[in-house]
Every structure is written in C-alpha cells, then in structure tokens.
Amino acid sequence: MSTEPGTTPAPRPLPSALPAPAPSRESRIHGCLLGGALGDSLGYAVEFDDIAAVRARFGPAGLQDFAALDGGSHFSDDTQLTLYTVDGLVEALEWANDGVGADTNACLWLAYLRWLGTQGVPLPASAPVQPPRWIDTHEVLKHRRAPGKACLSGLATGEMGTVYRPVNPDSKGCGTVMRSAPFGLIPHIAPGSVYKLSSDAASLTHGHPAARQGSGALSLMIHFLAAGHGLLEAAGYALAHLREADLGRNESPDPVLIERLEAALRLAPQPGQPAAGALLSPEDLVRELGEGWVAEEALAVALYAVLATAPETTAAAPGHGEDHPQAHFRAAIAVAVNHSGDSDSTASIAGNLLGTYYGEECLPAAWLEALEAPDVIRGMASRLAVLTGA
C-alpha cells in the first residue's frame, strides 16, 4: 500500500475516568464494521422522519431497539460504501503483499465504481473495467438504499476526482465521512498517512474541504481508538491534528468543521462535571450540531452521542455494571438515531467508533440477530483482519 509520512501532533491527553478496553485488533475490526452496520440499520428505519414523526410511531423516547421494527430493517448505502472502502483497501494490501506498489486511491476508485454499477447507474464509457471480486457476488449489496447524490454523480463522471481536479467541488455531504472508518483500521502507518488516505478517497466524490477533512478526522479517531486510546482522548488527538498538523496542499482547517467538533466536545459532559447525566434533547441536538446531512454535522452528532452517553462521563447513562459496553452502545445509538436528520449516517458513525473502542463485546446479541447479511460484513472484516495481521 502506498502512503506518505505525516506529522504527528502531540496534544495534551484528555481525562478519562475509566481505562480503555483492550480487545484484540481482530475484534476491533469486526466491531467497527458490525457496529456501524447496526447503527446504520436502526437509523435507516427513520432516516427521512422528523423527531415528531419518530415519537408518534415509537413513543416519547423514540426508536430504541430493533424489537420495535416489525420485520427488522435494512442497512443503507452507508454500510455498502463502507464495505467497498474495505474492499479497495484489501485490494491495495493484496498488491502490496505481492510486492507491487499499487495506487491505493485508484483501488478505492475502482471499488466505488463497482458499487456504482450496483445502483442502476450506467458506468461511463471512460471508466476502466475491473473483474468482479468476492464482495460483488452478494445480492444484498446491489439494492438501492437512498444513496447520496454526490456519491452517484461524482463517480458517474468517469473521472478519478482529486483535490486538484475535484468532482462536485462544492459538495460537503456526509457521503464521505460515513464510509471512512476503515482507513483507521490499517495498522503501522502514521496518523498523517491515515489522514491522507482518507481525505484523498473523499476527493473521489466530494470536493469541499469539510468533506475531506471530516473524513480524515473520523479515520484518525478510529486510528487512535484502535491503538488503545480512550474515546475523549482519540477525539482530542484528531481535533489537534486538524488544528496543528500540515494538512498538505496549502490547506487550512475548515472553520465550520472545527467549530462543530469543538461544540460536540463542549456539550458532552466531562468527567466530574456537575451537569453529568444531562443529555441534549433531539431538538437541541439539531439546533447545536445540525441534522447530519453534511460531513461536519454527521461527525459532530455521532461524536456527541458517543461521548455524552459514556459511563465515565455521565452518571445517568446506563452501564456501570458488567454489561456497560452494550449499555453504552445502545444509549449512544439511541441518541444518534432520534433526531430530525440523517439518522442512519450519524448512528453508523457512532457505531463505528464504539465498535472500534470496545470490540465486538459492545454489540447486543439480539441486534446482531436482526442485522441484515452479517456474514457479508464479517467476511469483509475477516479479509481485512487477515491482510493486516490481526
């Protein structure tokens, strides 16, 4: 895999009342992908409903569990594209293991083009043809599940978008950040390289700095969590990278992205705060952090949901007993799902973060039983784990 070295900022560690868990790296990989799919699936059931409609359908607390959904729920394009991100990385790693220095972004572009072909969009004549891979054999990934317009239009140009030749130059939709967790699961590369891989891949469909930087920020959070850091610490490291590191291309941090991430950290109760246990209402969540349709809002809402429900930061959150990882996961996904916005994307990102932090331990068994095509998700996770030595 071809990467470039990057600078590593040295921010001050943030406080954490509980030690970070220590699952295996394989468990973190499976947890990240399965956790994201669970959040995506629960959120997809109410993605286009405002909070009033959600409450009318599920009660004052909103949608809390798959048991409330008759017949379960499907995962969306968020999980589809996350798995195709894994496949692009897997192909680059396969080339590297054969002694060939493949262009990682080209492998990702080809993977996303194969996904585009599953969405009923004719591939442009200029697009290179690639033989199908294992991921392409599964019908469940060929359903159209409300894909983002910029992802479709950016790939349909047949041009491999870059920061220098952007497709959709003004788009900062969350279609980049919601697919970017897998970059943080690649071990033994510097944070700057993680950021570059992720932000470069975002440029394939979205040109706005917030879309690229938001993707890089999520990948960095996953990277630090996979290395054993705590949730608050990982968020602080990622934010410090955006503020202090050389992002390349003479680019400055996007001010709106920084503002939203800082707000998520500020609004989530910190260890020892008197206001511990007070969660924002769905209305206040949207007012403070946004609806999640664009990159910086989706990441901020997900980050808030994860931090505000952490057992070490809020006495009101369930999970001070032995099952606190699953209780934390349930509580965070509920916050990320129940608002008037892009519920599947915000909950998918929250699931990625917690699945990486805790590993598979945090995933409720009953939810996994309701999950669509878990064998496909586990199959992609296993491929990534094997190729990265997990």
Asked, for residue 13, whether it belongs to a domain, the answer is no
Cβ 341 vs Cβ 286: under 8 Å: yes
Asked, for residue 210, whether it belongs to a domain, the answer is yes
Compute the average pLDDT of residues 25-45.
98
Structural domain boundaries enclosing 66:
25-387
CA distance 259 to 152: 29
Label residues 123-148 b or e (16+ Cβ within 10 Å = b): eeeebeeeeebebbeeeebeeebebb
Among residues 38, 16, 30, the alpha carbon closest in space to that of 269 is found at: 16
% of the chain beyond a pLDDT of 70 = 89
Among residues 358, 281, 269, the alpha carbon closest in space to that of 314 is found at: 269
Please write the tens of the pLDDT for every residue from 294-353: 999 999 999 999 999 998 654 433 433 446 899 999 999 999 999 999 999 999 999 999
Which tokens in the block code for residue 95?
A: 């080339």
Compute the average pLDDT of residues 108-123.
93
Whose structure tokens read 């900062």? Answer: 172
The number of helices, as runs of H, and strands, as runs of E, in the chain is: 15, 0
Q: What is the pTM of this model?
A: 0.92
Whose structure tokens read 């405002």? Answer: 50
Whose structure tokens read 């920084």? Answer: 258
Please, which pLDDT band fits residue 359 given cuts at 50, 70 and 90? very high
Which residues share a beta bridge with 294?
Answer: 173
Label residues 25-48 b or e (16+ Cβ within 10 Å = b): bbbbbbbbbbbbbbbbbbbbbbbe
Asked, for residue 16, whether it belongs to a domain, the answer is no
For the cut 60, the answer to whether the pLDDT of residue 3 exceeds it is no
Asked, for residue 5, whether it belongs to a domain, the answer is no
Asked, for residue 81, whether it belongs to a domain, the answer is yes
Split into its structural domains, the chain has a count of: 1
CATH of the domain at 316: 1.10.4080.10
For the cut 90, the answer to whether the pLDDT of residue 13 exceeds it is no
Question: What single DSSP character describes residue 388?
Answer: T
| pLDDT given at position 320 | 39
The separation between the first and the last C-alpha atoms of the chain, rounded to the nearest angstrom, is 17
Compute the average pLDDT of residues 273-291.
85
Q: Which residue has the higher pLDDT, 89 or 5?
A: 89
Cβ 165 vs Cβ 203: under 8 Å: no
Please, which pLDDT band fits residue 278 given cuts at 50, 70 and 90? confident
Please, which pLDDT band fits residue 122 given cuts at 50, 70 and 90? confident
Asked, for residue 234, whether it belongs to a domain, the answer is yes
Q: Cα–Cα–Cα angle for 358, 232, 348, nearest 5°?
A: 55
For the cut 80, the answer to whether the pLDDT of residue 16 exceeds it is no
Asked, for residue 12, whether it belongs to a domain, the answer is no
Contacts of 181 (CB under 8 A, 6+ apart): 32, 33, 36, 82, 218, 219, 222, 349, 352, 353, 356
| pLDDT given at position 75 | 97
Asked, for residue 97, whether it belongs to a domain, the answer is yes
